[in-house]
Amino acid sequence: MKPVTLALSAVALLSLAACEGVPVGAKVDEGGFGNSTMNNFLVQTGQIDATRALGERFAGEIQTTVTFPFNSAQLTPEAQAVLNRQADWIRQFPEVRFRVYGHTDLVGSNGYNKRLGQRRAEAVVSYFAARGISRARLEALVSFGETRPVIQTQAPEEQNRRTVTEVSGFVENHPSVLDGKYAEVIYREYVKSAVPVATVIVGTPPAEGGAPSGGGSAPTP
């Protein structure tokens, strides 16, 4: 057994040597541990705006952009799939408002593209409304037309033909919002996501015909 012990000791020493200079817990915490708690604290103390915090979460969890065919406001199956995920997220937060921005590529006149961007934004809002989201929560429709391209080109470009959905604020006087605190909204989602766990009580009476619990054995008749 001694050779095995020595071998294991050598492996342990090599492992420690490999970790020399690395902070304790570096393998466990990649730098994000505690960020959620800190974020909630900063929001409640007014150091981070709640709207911005929710907007960053939305953009981090959901694809916020859908694209359109050339000279069209029709939603493709791919766009509808993205909007379904957006709608699912939006329905989780009935106290939050959203804004849809419409964009076009640089082909055509400014006036025409402004109207086309508006039609695209309206198409997204109508899609959300058909899935049970109140239009009152879609605070405004904004068309930037061709003024904010993703790719600067005069040619047709799909990435420029898009809508972008963003968090715009909170529904005024909504009963779920307590002083507009982002942490209250998030806490509700944590509670809803909890999974019940069965509780086993040691020493409970046995079922009819069974042995008593608690580790003892039934008496011999």
157-162 average pLDDT score: 92
Residue 215 reports pLDDT greater than 90? no
Q: What's the token pair of residue 87?
A: 């709608």
> pLDDT value at position 7?
46
Residue 211 reports pLDDT greater than 60? no
Give the C-alpha separation, 28 to 132, whole Å. Answer: 42
Q: Is residue 11 part of a domain?
A: no
Q: What's the token pair of residue 90?
A: 């939006």
Q: Is residue 61 part of a domain?
A: yes
Give the C-alpha separation, 95 to 181, whole Å. Answer: 11
Contacts of 65 (CB under 8 A, 6+ apart): 82, 162, 163, 164, 165
HSE toward the beta carbon, residue 119, CA cutoff 13 A: 15
Number of domains composing the chain: 1
Q: Name the residue range of residue 85's domain.
A: 39-192
Residue 175 reports pLDDT greater than 90? no
Q: Is residue 6 part of a domain?
A: no
Give the C-alpha separation, 46 to 49, whole Å. Answer: 7
Output phi, psi for 102, to 5 deg: -105, 140
Q: Is residue 188 part of a domain?
A: yes
Q: Which of 27-41, 72-86, 199-213 has the highest mean pLDDT?
A: 72-86
Q: Kindly report, residue by residue over 66-110, the tens digit of the pLDDT.
A: 999 999 999 999 999 999 999 999 998 888 899 999 999 999 999
Residue 164 reports pLDDT greater than 90? yes
Q: Give the global pTM.
A: 0.60
Specify the higher pLDDT residue, 221 or 167: 167
Q: With contact defined as beta carbons under 8 Å apart, do 174 and 134 qualify?
A: no
Q: Kindly report, residue by residue over 104-132, the tens digit of the pLDDT.
A: 999 999 999 999 999 999 999 999 999 99
Q: Is residue 50 part of a domain?
A: yes
Give the C-alpha separation, 57 to 39, whole Å. Answer: 11
Expressed in angstroms, the distance from the first to the final Cα of the chain is 49
> pLDDT value at position 166?
92
Q: Is residue 14 part of a domain?
A: no
Q: With contact defined as beta carbons under 8 Å apart, do 164 and 100 qualify?
A: yes
Contacts of 115 (CB under 8 A, 6+ apart): 143
**DSSP assignment letter at 28:** T
Q: Is residue 140 part of a domain?
A: yes
> pLDDT value at position 200?
61
Q: Is residue 108 part of a domain?
A: yes
CATH code for position 73: 3.30.1330.60
Average predicted confidence (pLDDT) for the chain: 75
> pLDDT value at position 220?
47
